[in-house]
Amino acid sequence: MNRLAQFTVVRAGAAPSVDAVAEEYAVAFEYNGISHAVMLATPADLEDLARGFSLSEGIVARKDELFDIEVIPSDAGITLRIEIAGAAFARLKARRRSLAGRTGCGLCGVEGLTEVVRALAPLTRGAAFPLAALHEGMRRLPAQQTLQHATGAAHAACLVAADGSIAFVREDVGRHNALDKTLGALAAAGSAADGALLVTSRASFEMVQKAAACGCGILAAVSAPTAAAVRLAAKLNLTLIGFLRGSDCVIYTHDEGLDRT
């Protein structure tokens, strides 16, 4: 399925022209044949989305509990048929719920208030990460945001290495989906904790929770965090950075995780 469509549009003072518009499809998640969630997403890197969502939402505790992912398009949308281990499926059935999520649903499948905050252990801190690398990563990222360049409607997420290089760039109309796609790609490569996560959006509570659930200790956003995100990051020993633009940023939690020299 295509990531974008072409439409004839009219701009003020100009003749009609063809414009690129981001595609958005309903994507249904099925675990061992049981429907779990439906959300709107960009139809690209869907195996990464399935893997990242499964891990970041705690449906599987480890990537080896995820056996198979099948992407099935239809006239109604796309179904992700995901096979998971029996123990993981038993946990899922114990809290099984059915929902319809908006674009980039942040708390997909949460039925009650007590399910919002998951029991996650604080992250173990490694060597301080160079702040200069985050600035360099943000400088490099726009060149790889092909869907955003074409449509102006996509968020991106990626991994930044200590030398400022970026990898696992993923885009989606939903910011949570972009992050889950990157987390899924990282898990497949076995390198989720080797660097910092960068997102071209605000940093909300559930994005901090997703990063921590996948073992990532640094989350940097181009925009602001929410208060709930700051409190959760402080609790989980995660370094949270906002307003990462040019040479500026705001460090909200655990600045000891950064080398600012």
Instruction: Give domain status of residue 124, yes or no.
Output: no
CATH number where 59 lies: 3.10.20.10
Cβ contacts of 152 within 8 Å, gap of 6 or more: none
- Per-residue pLDDT tens, the chain, 261 aa: give them: 899 999 999 999 899 999 999 999 999 999 999 999 999 999 999 999 999 999 999 999 999 999 999 999 999 999 999 999 999 999 998 876 434 444 455 545 444 444 556 789 999 988 999 999 999 999 999 999 999 999 999 999 999 999 999 999 999 999 999 999 999 999 999 876 679 999 999 999 999 999 999 999 999 999 999 999 999 999 999 999 999 999 999 999 999 999 998
Length of the chain: 261
The domain that holds 184 is classified in CATH as 3.40.140.10
Predicted local confidence at residue 118, as pLDDT: 79
- 157: β partners: 170, 199
Q: Which helix (H) or strand (E) holds 209?
A: helix 205-213
Residues 217 and 137 grouped into a single domain:
yes
Contacts of 246 (CB under 8 A, 6+ apart): 135
Q: What is the residue whose two structure tokens read 């998640």? A: 29
Residue 17 belongs to a domain:
no
Residues 151, 219 share a domain: yes
pTM of this structure: 0.92
Closest CA to 221 of 134, 162, 149, 106: 134
List, by residue number, the catalytic residues: 105
Amino acid 117: pLDDT = 66
